[in-house]
Amino acid sequence: MLQALTALYRKLILQNNLKPNWLSDCTPDKNHFHRRRFTAKYKSKQRIVRGIWLSFAVVALCFQALQIFLALGLLTTFISFCILDETE
């Protein structure tokens, strides 16, 4: 047990020491590729996508056919990528 805990803590310490500095910065910046996820605009887009995926889950539970599940899953994935896309 003690050996497993020390291995876990060692792994966590290595992960925190080896990650780049910009990864630990959570201040919103619309021009930075990682920190853009913390802007209000992106968070509102995430809420929309979360609602779409929850709707997909409800429909998938109601209609338990593989064809419907695959078609809606692919459509939902495509719509999610379109909404979260940041290109101009």
The runs of H, that is alpha helices, within 19-65 are: 40-62
At 45, the pLDDT band (50, 70, 90 cuts) reads: very high
Residue 87 has pLDDT above 80, yes or no: no
> What pLDDT shows up at residue 35?
84
| Domain identity same for 48 and 86 | yes
Q: Are residues 74 and 46 in the same domain?
A: yes
- pLDDT at residue 5 tops 90: no
Are residues 18 and 60 both part of a single domain? no
55 and 28 part of one domain: no
Same domain, 46 and 88: yes
- Count of domains in the chain? 2
> Mean pLDDT, to the nearest integer, of 12-33?
77
Altogether, the residues listed in the chain come to a count of: 88
Q: Could you tell me if 52 and 9 lie in one domain?
A: no
Q: Which residue pairs from 74-81 have beta carbons closer than 8 angstroms and sit at least 24 positions apart in sequence?
A: 76/52, 79/52, 80/49, 80/52, 80/53
Domain that holds residue 83: 39-88
Mean pLDDT value of segment 26-34: 81
